[in-house]
Structure 1
Amino acid sequence: MPSPEKSLEKVVVKMADHAIGDKNVLLATLGLGSCIGIALYDKFAKVGGLVHIMLPKNPGGKNIVKYADTGIPYLIEEVVNLGASQRRLSAKIVGGAGMFKSESGDSVMQIGKRNITAVKEILKDENIKLIGSDVGKDYGRSMYFYLDDGRVEIKSFNRDLIVI
């Protein structure tokens, strides 16, 4: 059930990027394949953030939001600075698909699977409850995170709309 178009400010989060906002913002990230979109939300403060990570572990790269192990803690810090309480944060994750297949049909390098594992471990370590997910499988997704109510809509080509 799509949100009636109030005057929400739509912010598109690109690959290896992030954004934060309040109840007047819709955060979107398009074309999640093996990457994962992580939505963090404080339903009482009605603030949250979205990070589009590409890989599980930062080898020392400067773009910390590209990696789960540095991007998620950074996003937590950002939403707390905006008024969220870390103890009230919940998470929803989307993506982590096995997009690239070998001739045998197996997913090459297992990047999506490795991203899913890393993201879940980091959220657990940060004591953030994972309350919704649409991960894995073999197709891309786009993610729309409504900060007025915390709803995440997932759209995929030739598939029904999913709301988590």
Structure 2
Amino acid sequence: MQIYTTDTSQSTPARIKVGIADFAVGTDGAVLTTSGLGSCIGVILYDADAAIAGLAHAMLPTSDGDATPAKFADTGIELLLSEMESSGADTSNVTAKLAGGSTMFDFASTDDGKSIGDRNVDAARQTLSEFGIDIVAEDVGGSHGRSLELDGETGTLTVRSAKTGTYEL
């Protein structure tokens, strides 16, 4: 049985979809989502004290001067941090979670034998280290895609994959 009411005193948090080569910052318990993470890297940043959450969906490891900074792990993280600070986050309180970086195809994309997914994970880890941000959880690698849902109120990241099921980080 469904109950219908006109009581609008309860508000639901915003739901923000993050596309490929995109990012978003959420406040007030917003839920941030992205799907289609194969070799792409999902970078989740969260300031628990300020309840400010950020999510970037980067395609490539390092920028080549492209005008789309969110397309790259290095410049995407820098941009995401900047936007979170503008919303009131304190970078000394920010922690990170990573997901994605799969090897979706059976060939190496560089002379060192690393796939684009491996290179995306390496670039994200390196950039976060440069900013002094700790990675508190990750689900990276493998050969499967992922979809993410970040609860901006709690910082809980739900990872969904057809191959490995649904779990929380």
Same fold (TM over 0.5): yes
| Structure 2: distance between partners of 1:8 and 1:33 | 28
For residues 89-123 of structure 1, what are the alpha-carbon distances to aligned partners after superposition, in whole Å with 9 as ceiling and x for unaligned?
Answer: 0000100000011xxxxx43100000111100110
Matched, 1:29 2:34: yes
| Structure 1: distance between partners of 2:28 and 2:104 | 33
RMSD: 1.1
Match of residue 68, structure 1, among 73, 85, 106: 73
| Aligned-pair CA distance for 1:140 | 0.2
| Aligned-pair CA distance for 1:162 | 1.6
Normalised by the size of structure 2, how large is the TM-score? 0.88
Query: How many equivalent residue pairs?
Result: 154
Matched, 1:18 2:59: no
- Counterpart position of 1:3: none
Larger Rg: 2
| Aligned-pair CA distance for 1:22 | 1.1
Normalised by the size of structure 1, how large is the TM-score? 0.91
Give the percent of matched residue pairs that are identical in Structure 1 and Structure 2: 36
Please show how residues 1-164 of structure 1 align to structure 2 within 5 Å.
7-101=12-106, 107-109=107-109, 110-164=115-169
| Aligned-pair CA distance for 1:24 | 2.5
Segments of structure 1 that go 5 or more residues without pairing to the other structure are 1-5, 102-106
| Structure 2: distance between partners of 1:148 and 1:108 | 39
Segments of structure 2 that go 5 or more residues without pairing to the other structure are 1-10, 110-114
Q: Which runs of 4+ in 1 moved over 4 A?
A: none
| Aligned-pair CA distance for 1:158 | 4.1
| Aligned-pair CA distance for 1:161 | 1.1
